[in-house]
Structure formats: C-alpha cells, structure tokens
Amino acid sequence: MNRYALAGCAIVICFNVNSASLPPKDQRAGPPKTLDTPRTFPEISSRADWEKRAGEIREHVLVSCGLWPMPEKTPLNPRISGRIERDGYSVENVYIETLPGFFLAGNLYRPLGKGRGPFPGILNPHGHWKEGRFADNDLGSIAGRCINFARRGMVAFSYDMVGYNDTAQVTHKFAANPTNLLWNISLMGLQTWNSIRALDFLESLPDVDKKRLACTGESGGGTQTFMLGAIEDRLVLQAPIVMVSHSMQGGCLCENAPGLRVDYSNMEIAAVPAPRPQIFVASTKDWTKTTMTLEGPAVGSVYRLFGAEDKLRYNIFDYDHNYNQTTREAVYAWFEQHLLGKASAPASPEIPFRKETNDALRIFPDGKLPDGALNEEQLIATLIRRGQQQKMDKAALKTLWKHTLQVEIPEDVVVEVDSSRAAKDVHVVSIGRPGKGDRLPVVMITPPNDALRYIAVLAHPDGKSAYLHKDNQPKGLAKTLLDHRISIVVVDTFLTGELANPQTAAARKMTSSFFSTNNRTDVQERVQDLITTCAFAQTHNKGRKVVLVGEGRAGICALLASPAADATIADADGLDTASDETLLAPDLFVPGIRKLPLTSMATLTAPKPFRIQKDGHLTASVVADWIANLKAN
C-alpha cells in the first residue's frame, strides 16, 4: 500500500486487498436504519476533534430542522394574565407569538418571598403525556416540578408541544405530508423553533437572570431539551430525562427531522453542550436502561476531554418511563448546585404541592384563538415563504449544501487496483472513503495522445455501461471525448450498474416517516459518490482540470456535486424541478432540496465554469464543444 498526496487529497493505493482497505462489497446496500437501530459513540481522540464535530452537529441540527440560517425573530407579543399566588410561588397564564399568526401557550411559575431576583430561568418542555403540560400523576407532574423550581428561587416556564392543550391550531401530526420535507418543514423543526422562542421569552423577563438559563424535559421533552442544548449557548445547564439512548431514538414526528440521525445519535447530540453541566436520569424499564454502562460513559468521554468529569451526572432508577418524584429530586439537587451555588447532593427533597385545576391553567378555555391565528395550510405557506426570502452568503450556502446533501469532500480516497482487468491506458479500480463502507467500481481511460488539459468524470443513470462495452472499449460520449484527447473516468454510483440491487432498492421507502431521518436517500448517496470520484480524478489529474459531466437523471446528481469539480456541465433531463411531484420521485428525492435549488449551485461553484442543459439534449457534440471552449479560454 502506498500513499500519495496530490491536489489536496490523499490517495491510498492497495494492490493487495486486506481488512484495512475497502470492504469486499458496498456496505450501503444493507437494510435501512430505523429509529431502533443501535448506535455507537465515535472514538474521539482530542478536545479539538470533538469541538470540530460538535460544530458540525450544531449546524446539522439547524439544517435538519429548517432553521439554517437562523430565521428572523419576529416580535413575541407576549400576553401574561390570570395570576394566582400560592405559598412561595405564583402561576400565570402566558401565550407568545413564535411566528406571525402562530401562538405558543404555557404557564409561568415565579418565586414569591425571595426578593426581586433576578432568578435562574428554567424551560420545561413536556413529554407525550395524554394530558400534555397538565399531566400530574405518579410517573410525572409538569406543574409539580415547576412549583418546586419556583419555591427554590427559580422562574419556570412550562409550554405546550404542538397540538397539545392550548397550542392546538395545528395537530401533533403537523407537516406529515412528504411534500413538506422538500422544504425541511417538519413537526420537529416547528417545536424546536418554539423552544428557541420560549427561551427568548424567558430571557426577556426582568426577573430572570440571562446568565442562568436551563432546560429540562422528559421523553419527547427530553429530546427537545438536548436539541435546544445543542444549538443554544444561552443554556448553561440541561437535564434531558429518559431519552438519551443508543437504541430507540424517538418514535414521534416531533423527534425526527429529515437527515438528523444519518451520522449522529441522541448520545452525540446530548454531548454537544460539554463542558456545560448536565444531568441524565434513566429508567430500568425503557430504552435508557443501559445508561450507567453505555450512554453515560460515552457522553462522559467527551467531558473527560475538557477535564470536566464533575460537570456530568447520570442516574438510573427502577421505574417505568417517567419524570417522577425520585427523578425530580435528583434534578432539583443538580440545579440547586449549579444555579444557586448550593453544595452537591444526590437529591433535594420535593416540597409537597398541589397542581391548579386544568381550567385555571388554560389559556384559551373557550378554544377561541387570537385574531390572525393560522391554520396548517397557512402556517406551511408562511414557513415556505420564510425559506424563499432568506438571504445567504456563500459560506452559509456551502453549509446548507453540505448538510442538506449529507456529503463531504473526502481528505482520503482508498483505491484498489484490479490488474487482471487492466489494459494499456485503461485502469480498472474500486474506490471509496476510509471507514465509510462505500466501494465504487471505476474505469479510467487515458487517450494515447492525451492533451493533459482536462479529465472528464462521466455520470449516467446506467453507470459505466452507458459509456463502455463489456470489454471496456469506449462508446458514445466516452469515445467522443477520448477522440478529442480528453481522459475520462466512469463510475457506477449507488445502486447503479454493478451496484444495482433490486431487493435493496425496494426496501428503501424514502418518503416514508423517519426513513430520511436515519438514512441518506439515493440522490444523496449518488452525489457523494460523484464527489468521491472527482476527488479520485484529482489525484490523477497531472495538472488537468476535472470536468464533471452528467447525463439524464444523473445530471441532477452531477449538478449537486459540482462544488467538487473544476467545471460542470450537466443535463436537467428536461425536468420541471419547480414541481413537487417531480422532486418526490425516488431517484430525485432529497429533503430540503427546495431551499437548495439547482440554480444555487452556480453561486456556490463560482467562478468555476457551470452549465445546466435544461432541455434534456446534452449530446456528445455539445459536451465536446463546451470543453473545447474551456480550453480556448
């Protein structure tokens, strides 16, 4: 095995196949991952490596939730009413306008008899209790923990999940139509935005200390807690309860944004705030039962990189899925230590409480919402408009490209040479990225009189067979380019050519719930394959420019992969890419693609040459003439 560093990319050439090289076959053709597929925590060797990965996770969460770049924050227009005073605390009814025409409701609990503050502020998203924020039973009481926070000298805000209690202008199945995925509009994205705006509201209160903000929630509220912790540096403390798991990742639309867990698990998302203090509490009778031996130590390995092992605590109690009194008392103690400066303790006894009646806590008891309240169709239209109107510089667009397509420009490419199939000027190889499980069949042909100006990477829905006869003799566009003294590279991308697998293809229900949360779509895999092939071509360029050429439906993939090439010409296959129906086709579907239209690739690749052949007639002569014009310039 030899390694050569060329054109900014290292290539590892393997003449003898071994376990350290490429896998024997493309491993991406296995069964799709689900929310129950066990995850492993990556081995991170340094604090710098983790900080880089944590930054990637933050960006990825925001893109997945449709919040990249961060949208404009419109006025919250808070309404606070119905104050009730009790022993040591007060409770008020609140609603805020997280988007124009969308209202988030909740209850605000404040300390009484502890001075004017400012006090720590605690967000309290709830789990999937039937009663929502009104839940009050042996397994969990949202009001109970808020009352106890307030009596301890903290301001607590309990707010609805979408579709629960007073926040019911849309249901908890909001945006379930796959069309919405094209804009990265999702229930999880809406709830995460609501949590950001709830934090804005809490921070705005004059009796809240902006430097002591925290969040805690259970189950689905636990998901919201670590999602918010990953993207909000304003939080100094968090407590995600019964949700940080290596196995079940969240079973509701409100916990599954497109692309979110392709490369990252709940464990990693929960580790992003390190070294800020946090506590996990797990249950012996749900998917967090291995917290003490697996999830806790995994997240703890990140805290250890910061020398902050004492900033993470994880407990497990022998109960069903819960946020019960025992769990709450562990959280109270942790919050008192880090927000109130009290001594460390394993638990802080709960003060007995009585929840107010549901009627007293309701914001809209008659179901009448404020004027201007949007229905689901109107809200989706508002979110689409927001996406259309957002302005992005090139750096923001590049981040959107990377995370929408789930791609990377690899630093290393592994190459295995098949000398038994090689001929003069014909190189038959397999390529892939170290540790990624991909293995791509590639043929590179150099003309005898190579002009050493350009090397063309050719992409076609049928893969190599569109350009080569069975004996690897060129045909069609490949022959035309070779006759013009231009070297070529042809490849079978994911599930095409030699990699075709009808059984795997049939199992990939790409627009179904949660598929794209946990798996790349066919287009995302194929765009990465073209990027990897361009990286391979660049290691063999001998000063030549890499031109990416895409025909038919593969032209869409080539256009999306264009940042990896020195020039790109591709066919849009005559498709109406403004049509949702077109973009929902299995071989074109990419969540978020509406925010990353093909025309934006020209901006992203500028000033490199870029051409879209929209009429679907990308002939060999058109390609050859275009490249010849490049040479002339």
Residue 594 above 80 pLDDT?
A: yes
Per the listing, tokens 């990465």 go with: 528
pLDDT digits (tens, 9 = 90+) for 526-551: 999 999 999 999 988 888 999 999 99
pLDDT band at residue 422 using 50, 70 and 90 as cut-offs: low
Question: What is the pLDDT at residue 133?
Answer: 98
Nearest C-alpha neighbor of 169 from the set 152, 197, 200, 194: 194
Q: Report yes or no: 459 and 562 within 8 Å, Cβ to Cβ.
A: no
pLDDT digits (tens, 9 = 90+) for 287-313: 999 999 999 999 999 999 999 999 999
pLDDT band at residue 419 using 50, 70 and 90 as cut-offs: confident
Q: Report yes or no: 227 and 103 within 8 Å, Cβ to Cβ.
A: no
Question: What is the pLDDT at residue 335?
Answer: 98
Q: Report yes or no: 148 and 328 within 8 Å, Cβ to Cβ.
A: yes
pTM over 0.75: yes
Which residues lie below 8 Å from residue 506, measured CB to CB, with a gap of 6+? none
Question: What is the pLDDT at residue 418?
Answer: 86
Please compute the mean of the pLDDT values over residues 33-50 and round it to a whole number: 97
Distance CA 282, CA 244 (A): 8
pLDDT digits (tens, 9 = 90+) for 88-130: 999 999 999 999 999 999 999 999 999 999 999 999 999 999 9
What integer best gives the mean pLDDT of the chain? Answer: 94
The distance from CA 150 to its chain's CA centroid, rounded to whole angstroms, is: 35
The distance from CA 209 to its chain's CA centroid, rounded to whole angstroms, is: 31
Give the homologous superfamily in CATH for domain 52-369. Alpha/Beta hydrolase fold, catalytic domain (3.40.50.1820)
Question: What is the pLDDT at residue 541?
Answer: 80
pLDDT band at residue 615 using 50, 70 and 90 as cut-offs: confident
Question: What is the pLDDT at residue 481?
Answer: 96
Residue 10 above 80 pLDDT?
A: no
Radius of gyration of the chain (CA): 27
Residue 276 above 90 pLDDT?
A: yes
Question: 3-state class of 617 per DSSP?
Answer: coil
Residue 75 above 90 pLDDT?
A: yes
pLDDT band at residue 633 using 50, 70 and 90 as cut-offs: low
Please state which of the four CATH numbers 2.40.50, 3.30.70, 3.40.630, 3.40.50 is assigned to the domain occupying 2-30+424-632: 3.40.50
Please compute the mean of the pLDDT values over residues 227-256 and round it to a whole number: 98
Distance CA 429, CA 421 (A): 9
Question: What is the pLDDT at residue 2?
Answer: 32
Question: What is the pLDDT at residue 631?
Answer: 66
Locate the domains of the chain by residue range: 2-30+424-632, 52-369
Please compute the mean of the pLDDT values over residues 490-508 and round it to a whole number: 96
Residue 360 above 60 pLDDT?
A: yes
Residue 15 above 60 pLDDT?
A: no
pLDDT digits (tens, 9 = 90+) for 202-223: 999 999 999 999 999 999 999 9
Distance CA 480, CA 624 (A): 7
248 C-beta neighbours (distance < 10 Å), count: 17
As given in the structure block, the two tokens for residue 506 are: 């049939």
Helix axes 620-632, 476-483, angle to 10 degrees: 30
Helix (H) or strand (E) holding 149: helix 142-151
pLDDT digits (tens, 9 = 90+) for 427-473: 999 999 999 999 999 999 999 988 889 999 999 999 999 999 999 99
Question: What is the pLDDT at residue 11?
Answer: 53
Please compute the mean of the pLDDT values over residues 555-561 and round it to a whole number: 97
Helix (H) or strand (E) holding 428: strand 426-432
The total number of residues written for the chain in this structure: 633
Mean pLDDT lowest among 156-160, 509-513, 615-619: 615-619
Residue 437 burial class via C-beta count within 10 angstroms: exposed 0-12, middle 13-18, buried 19 and up: middle
Question: What is the pLDDT at residue 19?
Answer: 41
Residue 20 above 60 pLDDT?
A: no
Helix (H) or strand (E) holding 550: strand 545-550
Domain pair 2-30+424-632 / 52-369, same fold: yes
Question: What is the pLDDT at residue 62?
Answer: 98
Please compute the mean of the pLDDT values over residues 392-413 and round it to a whole number: 96
CA angle 619, 624, 626 (to 5 degrees): 95
The distance from CA 26 to its chain's CA centroid, rounded to whole angstroms, is: 24
Which residues lie below 8 Å from residue 553, measured CB to CB, with a gap of 6+? 461, 573, 575, 587, 588
Question: What is the pLDDT at residue 421?
Answer: 72
Residue 270 burial class via C-beta count within 10 angstroms: exposed 0-12, middle 13-18, buried 19 and up: buried
Residue 396 burial class via C-beta count within 10 angstroms: exposed 0-12, middle 13-18, buried 19 and up: middle
Using a pLDDT cut of 70, give the percent of the chain over it.
96
3 state SS for 78-128: CEEEEEEEECCEEEEEEEEEEECCEEEEEEEEEECCCCCCCEEEEEEECCC
Q: Are strands 454-459 and 426-432 parallel, antiparallel or unpaired?
A: unpaired
Question: What is the pLDDT at residue 194?
Answer: 98
pLDDT digits (tens, 9 = 90+) for 147-196: 999 999 999 999 999 999 999 999 999 999 999 999 999 999 999 999 99
Q: Report yes or no: 236 and 213 within 8 Å, Cβ to Cβ.
A: yes
